[in-house]
Chain A
Amino acid sequence: MDKMNNKEYQKYAEQKIPKPTYFKNIINAFLVGGTICLIGQIIRNILFRFELGEESVASATAIILVFIGSFLTGIGVYDTIGKIGGAGAAIPITGFANSIVAPAMEYKREGLIFGVAAKMFTIAGPVLVYGIGSSVVVGILYLMFTAGR
């Protein structure tokens, strides 16, 4: 044991871990993510029948999907969907809802202020910070390259 140095041991220990089932995961992610997007598309098509404008339909679709994601988290189903779907369940807006509702539920016992409100963004916070941050950067670049045209 002592003959091994840290690097050698880390490499050795890595080999002892069962390999992730990449192929199965990719298929599952495609199916779960695809299903969520299909549901979103159906909602969108239905909303168009109410003759809402393009922008209102986009907002309403997102709102409904966020509600579904939050609701499924609340009744304890979304963690199973996430376990099967992986990124397919995490990347759509339902996954974003899950990442906010799950900690909000978890930390209820620590109180409404320092529990629910403070911990609500422990997972989604970084997404918001870098998502909004990068949209500002892209916005500035867009202005720089299109100004004066």
Chain B
Amino acid sequence: MIKKRIGSQTIKFPNPPSIIGTSSIVGPKEGDGPLKDYFDIILEDDTWAQESFEKAEAKIQEEAIKLAISNANISMNDLQYLVSGDLLNQIISSSYTARQITLPYFGLYGACSTMTESLSIGSMIVEGGFADKVVCATSSHFSSAERQFRFPLEYGSQRSFASQWTVTGAGATILSATGEGPYITYITPGKIKDFGITDTNNMGGAMAPAAIDTISQHFKDTGYNPDDYDLIITGDLGLVGKRIVLDLMRKEGYDLSQNYTDCGIKIFDGVEQDTHAGGSGCACSAVVFNGYIYKEMLKGNLNRVLLISTGALHSPISTLQGESIPGIAHAVTIDNLKD
């Protein structure tokens, strides 16, 4: 048996699964942002003519999956599993999407880390020989997240400077045992890190330790250095989390100043669009990866990318009870070459 694990937390795939198609659908605000040219569909109406924001989010995810299938030039029958998740209670967006998609379904809850969590599990299924092709997807919606985690939309409150803006959108990735790349070559699933942050307006600060732990463990396990990557990008740490990652990674002995950024910073123009610390939500890293990163990799502008989606695994109830925010971060290496 080939030993696929290296170091203490990383998996190296001897036969890396290939990404054969992706899709990204975003709302109007994201479609106004700096990455607008990379998204497949930009909605003019963030309810997409649905009667609730929850239904709209499920529709966005469903359409993203169908679009990824058509972008990969395959049909639904070629796929064996759907691996997806989202932010809403009992992951309803994903389950109602799975109701429409006739595939065996693994529902995940990793909050905003869902994109790399689904890519990790999808890769293991494909590389392990349990499926030929799987689809990994996730979604979030500003308005469905606001009403679950924060205030009604029309309530006149002020947002803190550390707060972030949930991205409306969905991304889907088709992984295949065969293909021309880009490939998923390594995954480093993360451990929960919780340094006792209770302020739900400071998600970046709450999740940064998990990102730092996973990234440094990834380097230790793989022997890679920051220089080996064209881009190292976290999911939704925003401006506050990015500062912490740069600062504390330097103290760990890794200089990320040349090639590190965050999807939440890339997706919005923080000043123009008044998003404070940046974007967040499952869709943040999903649309930045399936839109921007994937297309830049196909063009050859990026060749090896470390994507680390980050999640804050609290709930409105745990927050009210004064519990701190458990952070998680899963890293995935996407490479144009098999190794």
Contacts and interface: CB of A to CB of B under 8 A. Distances in A.
Interface string B90-111: 0000000000000000000000
Given A1-B248, A17-B205, A10 B197 contact: yes
A56 B178 CA distance: 79
Interface of A: 1, 4, 6-7, 9-10, 12-14, 16-20, 25, 73-74, 76, 78-83, 85-86, 89-90, 95, 98-99, 101-103, 105-107, 109, 123
B208 interface: yes
Contacts of B152: 102-103, 105-107, 123
B224 interface: no
Given A16-B205, A20-B160, A109-B52, A99 B195 contact: no
A107 to B, nearest CB: 8
Contact of A105 (B154, B160, B162): B154
Contact of B196 (A6, A105, A107, A109): A6
Chain B's interface size range is 20 to 34
Contacts of B155: 79, 82, 98-99, 102-103, 123
Contacts of B159: 83
Interface of B: 51-52, 147, 151-162, 195-197, 202, 205-206, 208-209, 212-213, 216, 239-240, 243-244, 247-248, 251-252
Contacts of B51: 109
B154 A73 contact: yes
Contacts of B158: 25, 82-83, 86
A23 to B, nearest CB: 15
B162 A82 contact: no
Nearest to B276: A18
A23 B144 CA distance: 33
A6 B162 contact: no
Contacts of A89: 156
Contact of B151 (A7, A18, A123): A123
